Amino acid sequence: MSGAPAKIDHVMRGTLEHIRDRFSTDHPRYVLFTTFNFVSQFFEANVLPLLVGDTVDELKGTSETRYVINEDLSVIKCLVACDRSTCPEPKGDMRYGLLPVGLPVGRFHPKLMLMAGTLKQTQEKGLWLSVGSGNLTLSGWAVNREVVGMTAVARQHADELRPLLAWLASQAERHFASTGGQPHEEEGDVRAILTALLEALSDASQLAPDSSNMPTLHLSLPFERDTRHSLLNTLKGSRPWRSATVVSPYWSGVETLVQKLGVEKCLFVPSLNADGKYRFPVETLSASPGYRRGFRKFSKDGERYTHAKALILEDANEARVLCIGSANFTQAAMLAPQGQSLANVEAMLRYELKNAPDLWNRQFQLLDEGELAPSEPGQDEDNAPTLPPFEAIVLCDWRARVFCAQLTITSDQSIRDIVLRADGFEHQFAVMPAGETQVMPPLPFKGAQPVRSFSVVYTSGKDDTATFRGLVTQVNALPDELGYQPRPRLKKVLELLRSLNPDASDSKMRERAALGLGGGDGEEEPAEPTFDFFGLFQGTWKLLEYYQKPGSAGKKRDPYDKQAPYGATNLYRAITLQPATTPEEKIGRYIQLTEMRDVVDRLDAAGQYVSSPSLRKDIDEKIDELHEDMVSLLGNSPSFTSMFGTATPERIKDFLGWFHREISKEISQEIGVAHAE
């Protein structure tokens, strides 16, 4: 527990920095955050820079800083899973995955961070975990009194985590399911991150040795088939307890929960409400409870809002256990789903304190029952909205240039007049029974910037109109389309390619690329066309040389990585972003595309990575589109006809082949190595 001043609390930040520093920065890392509430502006301006080890506290709105951090985030892959019922903020133009999930009758409420990668000290793969009470918000990371614990991941933690991650992976698979038989590449590599983390958790060599000093992890997973054991039962264990101290901002079913603990004495530590009263349902307590009860409050920073959740149990020998994490002292959090209205996903760490000094009770002072105010009915977490009676999924497909959507009824509640709105269009769904899914016909997407949110307006009950706001997921988009990096300019890309050093470390090349790829945010006019064919061929030669050698981690580099500013995908993007309207521009585009196709052929033949069918198809189609223009343009050229005669397709092909070979010879002579055949 932090004892920091009320102004700012560094407990969450310090935990992230401690775990981050356990890992090598020269190897890929995978990170999962789970949270109930999610504020993207706070996360992107404060947490992401810390995650990549940046020294700035905020992005300060500068595109240069954003691009550098985004480049780092291509190596440390990050995913946030949050509760969709909270209507989370749309993400900005930072490189990470965002997966809103939900339960038909419950909240997705865990607050954990799981990181996998290569450990700095041993240079072997491993995992670290933190579990706490703070959401990914300003209040959760800097203002509230929160609690958090961390541990290296051992077998018990991995066994507990795998079902949660498998469920998240199934939600992601359903969320990003293919349309029309075409698989999607979702923004943020959501499925790839979950797959990598599941593989790490299943690899015994990556797990830390078991230790009696480690806390144990306990999750509430209401979607699991075996719900016989509640979270409260697993935290309690098999030992009899004499007393309990409970810290929680929200309460329900208190008498039932205390009865299940079986204690003789229970102290309750509630939180302040907006009126300066302590929120606790004292009116629901029995006049003859069968146990002694009392109330406590924090003695230091008493006016500070407590969002921490903790359960301290003590036996007759004064041996104690401490349980901390996300679970409030409510039936939805602590009990298995056996008839109550809600059952949450929760995460708690359990520490065996044995007979260590009780540091928690030293922080409390007596709280008079007159300072208590009734809890707000039906509220189990901060500003928790009503659960939506449906699940709505909206995708924006940048490759097909369409919006795709589907809506599934998840409640027996009767609703009608269901209208989806996004980017100026609207679609009305028909009334349908619970469990049924309806798919919207694809609607055109004509924008140049991501559409990040949608709304569903519906009528329930007696003409009660409600609005649900959700997030649009971007699929099949390129990094510059999402704002991760500047739109590539061919001149800049060729300069970068010509400076490639295959022996330099990958981190050094990423740093150089981030600083040298400028070109604005994509709002400006297109750059002037580049006709430096010698520079083009020189750059592609360096590209081929670079990808023939392994990276600093010893693995083959992927030339088709969309996030690599010096990769084949980015070069092709830079070529096609140039205008091609004048005769000179069309001829230049044709030469650039034929060289691009040759580069793809060579890369496919030389390495373990193969270009996607869509990339090859796109290049071939664009070359075919320009072919008739080339026949017409060269046919009207006196120089061409005087040298080659009438411009036939065969002669044009021969001419361009000759042109290609001549420039290749010059490149080979200048560099001193033959252009690979």
Domain assignment present for residue 497? The answer is yes
Say whether both 189 and 76 belong to one domain.
Answer: yes
Q: Is 534's pLDDT higher than 80?
A: no
Which range is least confidently modeled, 57-66, 470-479, 544-553?
57-66
Q: Is 59's pLDDT higher than 50?
A: no
What average pLDDT does this structure show over 271-294? 88
What average pLDDT does this structure show over 240-248? 97
What average pLDDT does this structure show over 266-284? 90
**Paired tokens of 525:** 């006019």
Residue 270 near residue 249 (C-beta atoms within 8 A): yes
What average pLDDT does this structure show over 77-96? 95
Q: Is 341's pLDDT higher than 80?
A: no
Say whether both 633 and 580 belong to one domain.
Answer: yes
Domain assignment present for residue 381? The answer is no
**Domain span including residue 442:** 390-475
Specify the pLDDT at position 276: 82
Last residue of a domain, one of 423, 449, 475: 475
Last residue of a domain, one of 451, 475, 499: 475
Is the model more confident about 605 or about 662? 605
**How high does pLDDT run on average in the chain?**
86
Say whether both 567 and 662 belong to one domain.
Answer: yes
Domain assignment present for residue 113? The answer is yes
What average pLDDT does this structure show over 480-507? 79
Domain assignment present for residue 317? The answer is yes
Q: How many CB atoms lie within 10 A of CB 641?
A: 14
Give which of 190, 177, 21 is closest to 91, Cα–Cα: 190
Instruction: Kindly state the helix (H) or strand (E) to which residue 459 belongs, with its residue range.
Output: strand 453-460
Say whether both 336 and 224 belong to one domain.
Answer: yes
Band the pLDDT of 221: cuts 50, 70, 90. Answer: very high
Is the model more confident about 6 or about 655? 655
Looking at residue 82, its amino acid is C
Residue-wise pLDDT for 32-47, tens only, equals 999 999 999 999 999 9
Say whether both 202 and 225 belong to one domain.
Answer: no
Quote the percentage of the chain above a pLDDT of 90: 53
Polymer length in residues for the chain: 677
pTM > 0.75: yes
Specify the pLDDT at position 528: 55
Rounded CA-CA distance 277/267 in Å is 18
**Paired tokens of 393:** 């999924």
Say whether both 269 and 330 belong to one domain.
Answer: yes
Band the pLDDT of 229: cuts 50, 70, 90. Answer: confident
Domain assignment present for residue 39? The answer is yes
Q: Is 48's pLDDT higher than 80?
A: yes
CA trace torsion 646, 650, 655, 657 (10° rounding) = 180
Rounded CA-CA distance 450/470 in Å is 14
Q: What is the CATH number of the domain that holds 344?
A: 3.30.870
Specify the pLDDT at position 3: 38
Say whether both 310 and 405 belong to one domain.
Answer: no
Domain assignment present for residue 481? The answer is no
Give which of 288, 307, 286, 289 is closest to 298, Cα–Cα: 307
Band the pLDDT of 552: cuts 50, 70, 90. Answer: low
Last residue of a domain, one of 440, 475, 510: 475
Q: Is 514's pLDDT higher than 80?
A: no
Quote the percentage of the chain above a pLDDT of 70: 86
Specify the pLDDT at position 469: 95
Say whether both 527 and 635 belong to one domain.
Answer: yes
Rounded CA-CA distance 576/202 in Å is 43
Specify the pLDDT at position 241: 97
* Beta strands per DSSP E along 415-526: 415-422, 425-429, 437-444, 453-460, 464-475
What average pLDDT does this structure show over 113-123? 97
* Count of the separate structural domains present in the chain: 4
* Beta strands per DSSP E along 160-260: 216-220, 243-247
Q: Is 211's pLDDT higher than 70?
A: yes
Q: What is the CATH number of the domain that holds 455?
A: 2.60.40.2950
**Considering just the CA atoms, what is the radius of gyration of the chain in Å?**
30
Q: What is the DSSP string of 275-335?
A: TS-EE--GGGS-SS-SSEEEEEEESSSTTS-B---EEEEE-TT--EEEEEES--BSHHHHS
Say whether both 257 and 118 belong to one domain.
Answer: no
**Paired tokens of 546:** 């670079």
Band the pLDDT of 537: cuts 50, 70, 90. Answer: confident
Domain assignment present for residue 2? The answer is no
Residue-wise pLDDT for 4-39, tens only, equals 334 556 889 999 999 999 999 989 999 999 999 999
Say whether both 21 and 87 belong to one domain.
Answer: yes
Domain assignment present for residue 37? The answer is yes
Give CA separation, 90 vs 81, 99, 449, in Å: 13, 11, 14
Say whether both 438 and 561 belong to one domain.
Answer: no
Residue 434 near residue 409 (C-beta atoms within 8 A): yes
Say whether both 178 and 248 belong to one domain.
Answer: no
Q: Among positive and negative, which fits the CA dihedral 157, 162, 167, 168?
A: positive
Which range is least confidently modeled, 28-37, 54-63, 376-385, 534-543?
54-63
Specify the pLDDT at position 364: 93
